[in-house]
Structure 1
Amino acid sequence: MTAYDEDETGGNGGNGGNGEDDATGGPADGPGDARPGSFGGPRIPLPRVSVEDSGRPLPEVAPAALEHHVLTSLLGAWALAACSAQEAAAVEDHLGECDACADEALRLREAVTLLQRPESLDLDPGLRTRVLDGCLERRPPRIPVPEWAAPYDAETARLDALLQDIGDSDWHAPVRLRWFGEDGPASRRTTVAGVIAHLLAVDGAVAVALGLTDPLGDITASSRAPAVRTEAYWRGSHAPPSRLVRAPWREQSHDIVRTVSFTGDAGGMPVSYGDFELPLRDAMLDRAFECWVHAEDIADAVDYPYEPPSARHLNGMIDLAARMLPGVLAARRRAGLAAPGVRPHLVPAGKPGRSLRLEIEGSGGGEWLIPLDSPGAVGSAEHEVAHVALDGVEFCRLAAGHVPPAEAAAGQVGDREAIRDVLFAAAGLSRM
């Protein structure tokens, strides 16, 4: 028995060999058709056209004639939309007549909604990183971004994504910049646009060190101190900052990342902040830290969800703050803001001295031994006199001046005076 669609006379069994169109509505002239008098291959029917695509009215579904106990047993399947069209029509007709089944159907539908977990419309915050990592695995960049510049690259990109989402009116939302000065907490009122102008002006110190254009242009600042540069930029602007400041800030951040990638430098180039200098690799970490802190200020002002940096980048920021603590502690001591200690242990530079163990918990955490009596001394476990433990994000907010030292959620053991001085020195790292 063959699989040919021909009758004994060689005619087409589908249309009686009369040459008319086949049942699908198209002419039966395909390469697999068998015409009268021909001996072609097996006939392959053309695809059927869906009723929805044909323009014809959909057929009416007649409810199935079912008994009450059968309809009752179908309520669960109906609630899950698992019935056939006829069964669903029968159940729905029955629900209009039977109050008991209608109540049961409502209860089952509510239970189904509890089982279906609504999907969040928010994008996964790690999506960008995973996509970029996947792309770079397939095609590594010819000029990669140095590892010490990656936090700045990531934080400016995250802030730029926030700015992309906010509306025109949000740019004028009030923001209060906060830091911890010598006399205690300090603040400055501005707007979202003013915060971006502040970042543009202070990032300009790195841009100038790299030989890029100073965003201040013809505006004269009395020093390169961040606060001085910011105030000069605000005063020198012809109008209050608006959303137009985003474009120069974004372009400058891209230029900085591109330039440090092409320099091939190890990050040792000095960057001046007026009264102090940082090597380029630390200045980039500092700018990443401030970008994150001020992005949170903006996010709070416009009610926008914002997450801390990745653990690896957060660890780098905490490490920079821990390395800067001895210098800040010494400066506060010279200014009479910190006590010299009941039993100071002065040692030559490079030698172990009296130390505090700083334990950072959570994401990006670790342990650091902070020399207490001299910035040139080396932290030593043998000379440990105190131990402080803080959460990583809490420590960063302390270093940003957003948490008063006396209110920091810190576990403390040992020399109370040393602990107080280090907590206040951490807050003293902050600036406008």
Structure 2
Amino acid sequence: MTDDHDGVRDLLAAWAFGTLSPAEEHLVAPHLAECASCAAQARRLRETVRLLDGPASNGLPGTPAAPRPPGGASDILAFARRLRPAAPPVAAHAAPYAAAVAGLKALLVEAEGRWGTPVVHDWDVHATVAHLLAADEPLAGRLGIAARVPPSSTGADADGSAWEDAWNRRSADVIVREHGRTPEETVADWAAQAAALLAAPEAHDPEPAGRATLLMGVRLPVADHFVVRAFETWIHTDDIGRALGLPVPPPPAVHLDRLVRLAVRVLGLALGPAAPPVLFAIAGGERWVLGSEDEPVRAELTLDPVDFCLLVGGRYAPDEVPHATSGDAGAVGDVLERAASLAWL
């Protein structure tokens, strides 16, 4: 076996992208043939690149060399996302969900052998994917897509229950059911359902996506429900990444803007027209007045866009999220509390 084990591991990201020099290939290839741990890591990295449609060298003379990836495997997700070509076209409202699905698929390659790692709530990695399988069901069903999981025997889908109760029971039932299957089977069903959503006419045509429908206690256009699915998929991808010690980049700026705009609209509806008016701003972005339109603004509140999404996603407590403020502290507190209360992720 070649004895430069650490040196080879530092070259695996470049190997996955096909950007090794001939001398490096001469070092890496024999080592991978003899070292099972490096060979397994190399396969996972190449699969990550494949799922993200990353560039690969074709060896043709005159082909421009691809940029060299970082040596550490922990940076490969961000690097691959920067280099991947555009995903198959969907309408702008479905693009954040398509990107979030691609990101989670790439991250899950690194979960091999670590499916039992605790993530969030009382879920491990396997259960978190099962939860997303359940979470995508309501929109899929509304679009005529057959469920991947049989109906719950506990009556979780029965009419007449508060949506939160029915939703929590359904999610728990799906998690229990999926823990009786392999993680690969769960991932395959989640990915197939996500692909069906992205293949639906509503993911490509703004006209049918414009009709409003009530899901998860909120009546929104189907287009906005695609953004909700992107929001939750990204939040749980970040959860899994933190659990596995792998950095997950935030959504691209254009997608993050859609998430923020939707969250601000839902927050405004939740506060209602009688709330003390607060000038709410996203750092480096837009400003909105939340609450009453008939009174002078009582306070100003500014949050980073990612921090705001994490607050709405339940990953920050109202008194912990970094923010800048002036004016009526009580009015600001109302906005932060209400934003945190929106979380069902």
TM-score for both structures, normalised by structure 1 = 0.56
The amino acid of 1:316's aligned partner reads: R
Q: 2:214 aligns with which of 257, 266, 272?
A: 272
1:237 shift after superposition: 4.8
**SS of structure 2 residue aligned to 1:211:** coil
Answer whether contact 2:234 2:251 (CA < 8 A) is retained.
yes
Answer whether contact 1:173 1:302 (CA < 8 A) is retained.
yes
Answer whether contact 2:117 2:243 (CA < 8 A) is retained.
yes
* In 1, Cα distance between equivalents of 2:288 and 2:79: 29
Provide the identity percentage: 32
For 1:215, the equivalent position in structure 2 comes to: 148
The superposition leaves residues 27-59 of structure 1 with CA deviations (integer Å, 9 ceiling, x where unpaired) of xxxxxxxxxxxxxxxxxxxxxxxxxxxxxxxxx
The amino acid of 2:198's aligned partner reads: V
2:312 paired with 1:419: no
**SS of structure 2 residue aligned to 1:307:** coil
2:296 paired with 1:383: yes
Bigger radius of gyration, 1 or 2? 1
Q: 2:99 aligns with which of 154, 159, 165?
A: 154
For 1:285, the equivalent position in structure 2 comes to: 227
For 1:257, the equivalent position in structure 2 comes to: 198
Alignment gaps of 5+ in structure 2: 1-67
For 2:281, the equivalent position in structure 1 comes to: 359
* In 1, Cα distance between equivalents of 2:85 and 2:178: 37
TM-score for both structures, normalised by structure 2 = 0.70
The answer to which of 273-282 and 150-159 deviates more is: 273-282
Following superposition of structure 1 onto structure 2, how do residues 39-188 of structure 1 map, counting pairs within 5 Å? 120-121=71-72, 122-123=75-76, 125=78, 127-128=80-81, 130-133=83-86, 144-167=89-112, 169-176=113-120, 188=121
For 2:42, the equivalent position in structure 1 comes to: none
Change over 3 Å in CA distance of 1:124–1:209 after alignment to 2 = closer
Answer whether contact 2:210 2:222 (CA < 8 A) is retained.
yes
1:242 shift after superposition: 2.6
Answer whether contact 1:205 1:272 (CA < 8 A) is retained.
no
1:254 shift after superposition: 0.8
Q: 1:312 aligns with which of 251, 254, 266?
A: 254
Q: 2:124 aligns with which of 191, 197, 206?
A: 191
* In 2, Cα distance between equivalents of 1:124 and 1:230: 28
Change over 3 Å in CA distance of 1:237–1:158 after alignment to 2 = closer
For 1:337, the equivalent position in structure 2 comes to: none
The amino acid of 1:358's aligned partner reads: F
For 2:239, the equivalent position in structure 1 comes to: 297
Q: 2:317 aligns with which of 400, 404, 414?
A: 404
Answer whether contact 1:328 1:425 (CA < 8 A) is retained.
yes
2:184 paired with 1:233: no
The amino acid of 1:150's aligned partner reads: A
For 1:23, the equivalent position in structure 2 comes to: none
1:131 shift after superposition: 4.0
Instruction: Give the number of aligned pairs.
Output: 267
* In 1, Cα distance between equivalents of 2:69 and 2:78: 18
More helix by share: 2
* In 2, Cα distance between equivalents of 1:129 and 1:256: 25
Answer whether contact 1:175 1:189 (CA < 8 A) is retained.
yes
2:342 paired with 1:429: yes
Change over 3 Å in CA distance of 1:258–1:290 after alignment to 2 = same
Answer whether contact 2:115 2:183 (CA < 8 A) is retained.
yes
Considering Cα pairs closer than 8 Å and 6+ residues apart, tell me whether 1 or 2 has the greater RCO: 2
2:269 paired with 1:324: no
Q: 1:393 aligns with which of 306, 310, 320?
A: 306
* In 2, Cα distance between equivalents of 1:245 and 1:236: 10
Answer whether contact 1:361 1:390 (CA < 8 A) is retained.
yes
* In 2, Cα distance between equivalents of 1:419 and 1:266: 38
Answer whether contact 1:205 1:271 (CA < 8 A) is retained.
no
* In 1, Cα distance between equivalents of 2:111 and 2:217: 36
The amino acid of 1:265's aligned partner reads: E
